[in-house]
């Protein structure tokens, strides 16, 4: 293979099929060398296998030591190995490779290479082991150890030293210590819980399909209780209500985002109190943001303008858009749907019992998965802020053009940089140029054994056919509900371009920094995503009709077009 990016690897000959599904929203851009070499290569691969082994579905001996197989980086873009996850589906009772495909490929499942059973894919031994895990998944009502882990990570945040007083070497060592001490265990928890969370949707989908109404699944996994990814939106909503109820604060916001903090501080007695509440938000949710697994990325702490922009959009939303009201409505609908289906299954107590267990499991493990993600993200952020201090110093010294350049060097290269800055500093500008080239390309959604040459990848500026009235874009159901409104294409959550209440938010991919904009929108349409993607999980908690995996929607639709979003069927119909 011709290495196109410094951390590229070859596809696995043994497990050849990979997808951008799900990982595309975690790493929408090419992965930075520092992140991938400090936690990706040394910890993510063995941690993934450890999680599957903990589930009981694999043995570590089935994989090649020291070789990246469960994950891949091709042309700079991260991929998940579906061949391995299909084996997981084949071995776990009640799942199947086809169910795995629907989860990871979304609307692209039909175009994926067909599953071809391997001689060892099905395994009675692994079915028995994973069956014991299933018993726990279908009976557990909480996972209390995750809260204890959260508290440990919060303690690390609370005890953050004054980074400005640390030497260059101490900043780098702090980052390495945090990642090497805590990251893998947090990652194993997250991957394990992610696979646990696949069980309930599989059971519920089978029941809904058997009842002749597959769309019921969206109601059954909505309104589960406030998940971690949705919490920033609730906190920002409270801040937006304060602004909406204050003429002085509203006037400060009316003047625009530039200089907003200074104007708020001067807004009479209400200003300082609001800033205290805003700073508390940044402290609690500072790790969340755009592309939040990547250390180079913006978060609410490193770029508070993300939060200011979200409050500005949310303050214009009516009080009935309160996320708490939506959660209550969805929770009531979910409980009514569960009761209705349970009644229909009364004649078959065994199936009814499985259904009720699946309904409870969805609530337990979809929320637990989000908790484990928060734990990882919070730790990553502590490394981020330390490395940003290093990046700031190298900008001052004239070796970096911007703070985020710290991520363009590998972990080993940072050792060389501190010893002799002239030895590797030139790599930063070279990689930044290369990164720009890769960002202009759209990676293939599926890689099957061989990575297509990068020079054959479609450019993001490639023409697509525009929609016309009557066209229907088919995606994957996100959150149930039907809404008709005007399209608003948004490319950057820090620049929502006038998104107004009632408009349909359309974008290519979302993460936590987008969540507050869901509250201001009446519907959400996303190019990428599947059953457990961010947009789906959050929209189901906020009660916003949502369609994901609507390929090229953000490029085919135009601002101001009227569309109808049906979150139950996964369709976007162009009205005019």
Answer for the pair 83, 17: CB distance below 8 angstroms, yes or no.
yes
**pLDDT value at position 9?**
94
Q: Which residues contact 447 (CB under 8 A, 6 or more apart)?
A: 11, 17, 18, 19, 72, 74, 79
Q: If you ran DSSP here, which 8-state letter would residue 530 be given?
A: -
Asked whether residue 519 is assigned to any structural domain, the reply reads yes
Asked whether residue 565 is domain-assigned, the answer is yes
Element (H, E) at 546: strand 546-548
Please check whether residue 531 lies inside any domain of the structure.
yes
- Is 476 within a domain? yes
Residue 104, in any domain of the structure: no
Per residue in 214-250, pLDDT (tens digit) is 778 888 888 887 688 888 989 999 999 999 999 999 9
- For residue 225, is it within any domain? no
Q: How many CB atoms lie within 10 A of CB 397?
A: 10
User: DSSP letter string over 434-464?
Assistant: HHHHHHTEE--SEEESBPPPGGGSEETT---
Are residues 243 and 249 in contact, defined by beta-carbon separation less than 8 angstroms?
Answer: yes
Residue 478 lies in domain: 472-574
pLDDT less than 70: residues of the chain:
1-3, 105-110, 226, 462, 496-497, 512-513, 531-532
Look at residue 109 in the predicted model and tell me its pLDDT. 67
Q: Could you give the number of structural domains in the chain?
A: 1
What is the per-residue pLDDT for 1? 43
Report pLDDT for 239: 97
Mean pLDDT score across all residues of the chain: 91
Q: Give the DSSP per-residue string, 235-297.
A: HHHHHHHHHHT-HHHHHHHHT-STTHHHHHHTSTTHHHHHHHHHHHHHHHHTT-BTTTTSTTS
Please write the tens of the pLDDT for every residue from 172-220.
999 999 999 999 999 999 999 999 998 888 888 888 888 888 778 888 8
Angle between helices 305-314 and 270-285 (to 10 degrees): 120
**Which of 161, 187, 175 lies closest to 377, judged by CA?**
187
What pLDDT does residue 3 have? 60
DSSP label of 229: G
> Reduced to 3 states, what is the DSSP secondary structure of residue 542?
helix
Question: Comparing C-alpha atoms, which of 157, 188, 190 is closest to residue 174?
Answer: 157
Residue at 541 is within a domain: yes
* Nearest to 175, CA basis, from 407, 19, 20: 407
Residue 485 exposed, middle or buried by CB count within 10 Å (0-12, 13-18, 19+): buried
Residue 477: inside a domain, yes or no?
Answer: yes
Separation CA 287–CA 382 (nearest Å)? 8
- Give the residue carrying structure tokens 């040394």: 42
The secondary structure element, H or E, covering residue 85 is helix 82-91
For residue 500, the domain's CATH number is 3.50.30.10
């Amino acid at each position: 293979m011709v290495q196109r990016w410094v951390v590229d690897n070859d596809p696995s000959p043994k497990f050849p099929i990979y997808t951008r599904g799900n990982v595309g929203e975690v790493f929408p851009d090419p992965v930075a060398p520092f992140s991938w070499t400090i936690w990706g290569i040394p910890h993510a691969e063995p941690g993934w296998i450890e999680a599957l082994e903990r589930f009981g579905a694999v043995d570590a001996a089935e994989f090649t030591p020291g070789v990246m197989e469960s994950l891949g980086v091709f042309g700079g873009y991260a991929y998940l190995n579906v061949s391995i996850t299909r084996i997981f589906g084949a071995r776990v009772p009640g799942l199947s490779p086809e169910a795995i495909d629907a989860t990871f490929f979304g609307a692209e499942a039909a175009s994926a290479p067909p599953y071809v059973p391997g001689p060892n894919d099905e395994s009675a031994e692994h079915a028995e082991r994973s069956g014991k895990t299933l018993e726990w998944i279908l009976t557990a009502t909480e996972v209390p150890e995750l809260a204890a882990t959260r508290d440990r990570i919060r303690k690390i945040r609370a005890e953050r030293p004054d980074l400005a007083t640390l030497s260059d070497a101490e900043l780098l060592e702090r980052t390495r210590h945090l990642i090497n001490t805590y990251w893998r265990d947090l990652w194993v928890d997250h991957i394990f819980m992610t696979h646990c969370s696949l069980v309930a949707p599989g059971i519920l989908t089978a029941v809904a399909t058997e009842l002749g109404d597959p769309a019921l699944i969206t109601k059954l996994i909505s309104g589960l209780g406030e998940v971690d990814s949705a919490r920033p939106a609730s906190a920002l909503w409270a801040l937006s209500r304060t602004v909406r109820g204050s003429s002085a604060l509203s006037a400060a916001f009316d003047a625009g985002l530039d200089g907003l903090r200074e104007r708020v501080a001067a807004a009479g007695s209400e200003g300082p109190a609001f800033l205290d509440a805003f700073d508390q938000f940044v402290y609690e949710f500072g790790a969340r943001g755009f592309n939040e697994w990547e250390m180079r990325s913006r978060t609410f702490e490193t770029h508070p303008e993300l939060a200011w922009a979200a409050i500005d959009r949310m303050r214009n939303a009516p009080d009935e858009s309160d996320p708490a009201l939506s959660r209550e409505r969805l929770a009531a609908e979910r409980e009514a749907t569960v009761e209705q289906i349970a009644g229909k299954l009364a004649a078959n107590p065994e199936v009814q019992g499985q259904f009720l267990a699946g309904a409870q499991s969805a609530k337990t493990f979809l929320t637990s998965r989000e908790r484990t993600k928060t734990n990882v993200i919070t730790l990553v952020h502590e490394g981020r802020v330390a490395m940003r201090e290093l990046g700031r110093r190298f900008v001052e010294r004239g070796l970096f053009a911007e703070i985020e350049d710290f991520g363009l060097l590998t972990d080993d290269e940072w050792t060389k940089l501190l010893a002799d800055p002239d030895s590797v500093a030139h790599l930063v500008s070279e990689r930044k140029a290369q990164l720009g080239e890769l960002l202009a390309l759209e990676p293939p959604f599926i890689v099957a054994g061989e990575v297509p040459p990068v020079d054959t990848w479609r450019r993001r500026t490639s023409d697509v056919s525009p929609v016309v009235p009557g066209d229907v874009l088919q995606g994957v159901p996100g959150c149930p509900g039907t809404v008709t409104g005007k399209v608003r294409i948004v490319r950057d959550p820090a620049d929502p371009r006038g998104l107004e209440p009632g408009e349909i938010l359309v974008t290519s991919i979302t993460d936590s920094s987008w969540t507050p904009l869901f509250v201001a929108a009446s519907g959400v349409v996303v190019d990428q995503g599947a059953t457990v993607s961010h947009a789906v999980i959050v929209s189901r908690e906020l009660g916003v009709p949502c369609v994901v995996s609507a390929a090229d929607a953000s490029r085919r639709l135009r601002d101001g077009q009227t569309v109808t979003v049906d979150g139950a069927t996964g369709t976007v119909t162009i009205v005019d």
